[in-house]
């Protein structure tokens, strides 16, 4: 007999995820470190791919937050749509084990956080 201790949740609107705050500080530190790279590092291609994967996953989580915040403020939705379309285009590119690829993902995370901060401020002012 097999019993499972796992529970499957059906959350197509992402409401559960919306209530969980992003762990922002470590990613901002990673972005800062990645953007400070100036030359060839001693990191391997696999290391760079792993960093790019981490940043990609986090960028997708930030993009989901940007979408939820923008939906709360119809007047800011157009700019958020532009930012999210650009983010989706950049996230759809193949991950490469290069410094350039990792830095592009870091720039995207930074840009998404900037937009999220603006939307958070607008939501706060609207309330």
- Give per-residue pLDDT as tens, 4-36: 676 655 556 655 555 566 789 999 999 999 999
Q: Are 114 and 65 in contact (CB under 8 A)?
A: no
pTM over the 0.85 mark: no
- Give per-residue pLDDT as tens, 78-124: 778 888 999 999 999 999 999 999 999 999 999 999 999 988 888 77
Q: How far is C-alpha 12 from the geometric centre of its chain's CA atoms? A: 19
- Give per-residue pLDDT as tens, 48-70: 999 999 999 999 999 999 998 88
């Amino acid at each position: 007999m097999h019993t499972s201790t796992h529970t499957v949740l059906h959350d197509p609107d992402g409401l559960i995820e919306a209530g969980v705050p992003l762990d922002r500080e470590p990613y901002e530190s990673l972005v800062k470190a990645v953007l400070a790279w100036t030359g060839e590092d001693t990191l391997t291609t696999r290391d760079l791919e792993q960093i790019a994967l981490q940043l990609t996953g986090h960028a997708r989580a930030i993009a989901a937050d940007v979408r939820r915040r923008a939906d709360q403020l119809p007047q800011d939705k157009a700019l958020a749509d532009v930012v999210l379309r650009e983010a989706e285009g950049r996230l759809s590119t193949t991950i490469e084990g290069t410094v350039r690829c990792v830095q592009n993902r870091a720039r995207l995370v930074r840009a998404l956080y900037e937009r999220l901060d603006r939307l958070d401020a607008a939501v706060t002012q609207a309330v």
